[in-house]
Chains A and B, each alone.
Chain A
C-alpha cells in the first residue's frame, strides 16, 4: 500500500530565511501526482504546488519549489525568503486516479 511520510512534525525558520520540508513516499507505480498543501490557522487548505511524476523538471511557484527525486521517492518543499504568512501546517500528498494519500503534516513556525 502507498504511504506518505513527513518526518518533521514541527519546524521553525527565521523570517526571510530558507527552509526545506521533507516528504518521502512509497509506491510501486510509475505514474502519479505529488502535492504540497498548506493549511493556515484559519484551516482553509490551499494547494501550494503540484508535480506530475513523469515530468522530471521540478515544479516551482514563486518562492516555493520542490526537489523531486523519483528514484529515491522523495519530494521536498523549499520555501525561500520565508514570510510570516507562511506559518501553517504543510501536507505532502500522493495521488493517483483511485486514491489520494496525505502525510501527517509538518507545522512550520516563522520567527520574526
Chain B
C-alpha cells in the first residue's frame, strides 16, 4: 500500500504570493492533518479534516486554509506569503477518525519564501 504523498516536495515563492500544497493520504484513510515545522516554533498543528469537514484548527491566521476532497485528498493554501511562512509542511493521515490515532506522515513540502 502506498504511503502518504505530498506534492510538491520543494517550493520557492516570494512574499505576497500564494501557494497550494497537496496531500494524498493512504488509501482508505479519511482523516488528514496538517502541521508546520520550523526551527524556532517547532511542530505546530494547522488543521484536521475528516470526510471533507474541517474538524479542528490550530492557532494560525486566516491566511492559512485548507480543504479535503471526496477522495480524501487534501490541499492547504497560504495566501499573501510572509517570510515567516518558510517551513516544512507535513501532512498525516489516519485510518480512524482523529489525529489521536496512529498517524502516518508524508515526507513534507519544504516551502521557502524569499
Contacts and interface: CB of A to CB of B under 8 A. Distances in A.
Contacts of A103: 42
Contacts of A102: 42-44
Interface stretch (B13-21, B60-68, B75-83, B103-111): B103-111
A24 B69 CA distance: 38
Contacts, number: 41
A44 to B, nearest CB: 5
A106 to B, nearest CB: 12
Contacts of A99: 45, 56, 58
B97 to A, nearest CB: 10
A46 B105 contact: yes
A112 B41 CA distance: 32
A98 interface: yes
Interface in A65-96: 91, 93, 95-96
B42 A104 contact: yes
Contacts of B45: 99-101
Interface string B11-34: 000000000000000000000000
A43 B108 contact: yes
Contacts of A98: 56
Contact of A95 (B88, B100, B104, B108): B100
Contacts of B106: 44
A47 B56 contact: no
B98 interface: yes
Q: Which of A46, A91, A97 has most B Cβ within 10 Å?
A: A97
Interface of B: 42-45, 56, 58, 88, 90, 92, 98-100, 102-108
Interface of A: 33, 42-47, 50, 91, 93, 95-105
